[in-house]
Amino acid sequence: MEQTQRRPAGVVSAPSRLLDGLQRWLPKLVIAPTFVLIGIGIYGYMLWTGILSFTSSSFLPTYDFVGFDQYAKLMANDRWLTASKNLAIFGGLFIFTCLFIGVVLAIFLDQRIRQEGAIRTIYLYPMALSMIVTGTVWKWILNPSLGIEKLMHDWGWTSFSFDWLVNSNLAIYTIVMAAVWQASGFVMALFLAGLRGVDSSIIRAARVDGASLPLIYWKIILPSLRPVFFSAVMVLAHIAIKSFDLVMAMTAGGPGYSTDLPAVFMYAHTFTRGQMGLGSASAMLMLGAILALIVPYLYSELREKRHD
């Protein structure tokens, strides 16, 4: 704006000035709707959820503020505590196992084996499925009266027992199994790309020095993949915190509410139980958990940029 005004009138002919202006404004115009949508659709609603979490909203939003009541209720709620504990178990095991399996698979695939492309596709394939499909399939496999246990019984091994899915203490681990099956192929792909990017001259030099292959991976290659580790953990942590569809398909939070996760809790209370205030409070705590991950990430990213 200011620049156009400062430019002396009449120096540029009208059509080219129009073009000029268009050229300068068009990108902003094209971007603007996106910004508005993100502003309202993400940050606006985030703010609104924050506001609602301080009200006594029941099944429609109302604006009588009750302070931190909903948060206090949430902290006293047995189901929320179960959900948080489950998130810790699920998130921890899920991230760790996925990383472990992903790295191992990537290292195996990195040995220039035959049919690598085909094998890679097979491992990566679960990622193409929706979590709902994964959950439904695993529900069948793990159900004692349909899946593995029944198969073993039919084969004559009648003392075989695998009832994790219907055992309230173990059901959360069955969800970890399905989630790991879904996501470890993706982690493998990430690491494979990273491994291929490692300078082969370093490896050759290490070979010349007499290092064994496991040692080379352990001491040289994997440490150089720190950024890949970091992004893998970031992505997996997000999947864990927002995890909803997998649980809904596999156990719907059951038996009882023993496999409840915060996202399931939030949905149930906000949309089906008419406790919008409580649901919003739980959503804010989930946002807090994600921020706790993303802020250090952004910080390290920005700091690296400054060094460049």
Partner 1 sequence: MTAFKRTLSALAVSACLLPAAAVHAGEVEVLHWWTAGGEARAAAALKEMMEEQGHTWKDFAVAGGGGEAAMTVLKTRAVSGNPPAAAQIKGLDIREWAKLGFLTSLDDVAAAENWDQLVPPMISDVMQYEGEYVAVPVNVHRVNWLWVNPQVMEKVGVEIPNTLDEFFTVADKLKAAGYIPLAHGGQPWQDATVFEAVALAVMDSDTYRKAFVEHDLDVINSAVMEEVFAKFAKVMSYVDDNAAGRDWNTATGMVIRGEAAMQIMGDWAKGEFTAAGLTPGEDYLCAAAPGTAGEFTFNVDSFAMFGLSEEENVAAQKDLARTILEPKFQTVFNQNKGSIPVRTDMDMSEFDACAQASMETFKSSADTGELVPSLAHGLATTSYVQGQVFDVVTNFVNSNDKDPVKATDQLAAAIQAAK
Q: Find the length of the chain.
A: 308
Residue 184 or 251: which CB sits closer to partner 1?
A: 251
Q: Which stretch binds partner 1 (CB under 8 A): 77-85, 188-196, 227-235, 286-294?
A: 77-85
23/118 Cα distance (integer angstroms): 48
CB of 74 vs partner 1, minimal distance in Å: 11
CB of 108 vs partner 1, minimal distance in Å: 36
CB of 79 vs partner 1, minimal distance in Å: 5
192/103 Cα distance (integer angstroms): 8
Type of residue found at 121:
T
Asked if 254 and 78 count as a contact pair (C-beta separation under 8 A), the reply is no
Question: Of 287, 284, 271, 292, whose CA–CA distance to 71 is shortest?
Answer: 284
Phi, psi torsion values for 65, nearest 5 degrees: -80, 135
Binders of partner 1 among residues 242 to 271 (CB under 8 A) are 251-252, 254-258, 268-269, 271
Single residue of 50, 56, 71, 73 touching partner 1 by CB under 8 A: 73
Q: Does 139 bind partner 1 (CB under 8 A)?
A: yes
Residue 90 or 267: which CB sits closer to partner 1?
A: 267
176/91 Cα distance (integer angstroms): 8
Q: Which stretch binds partner 1 (CB under 8 A): 5-13, 23-31, 58-66, 216-224?
A: 58-66
Asked if 170 and 250 count as a contact pair (C-beta separation under 8 A), the reply is no
Which residue ranges make up the site for partner 1 (CB under 8 A)?
Answer: 58-60, 73, 76-79, 139, 143-145, 163, 165-166, 168-169, 171, 251-252, 254-258, 268-269, 271-275
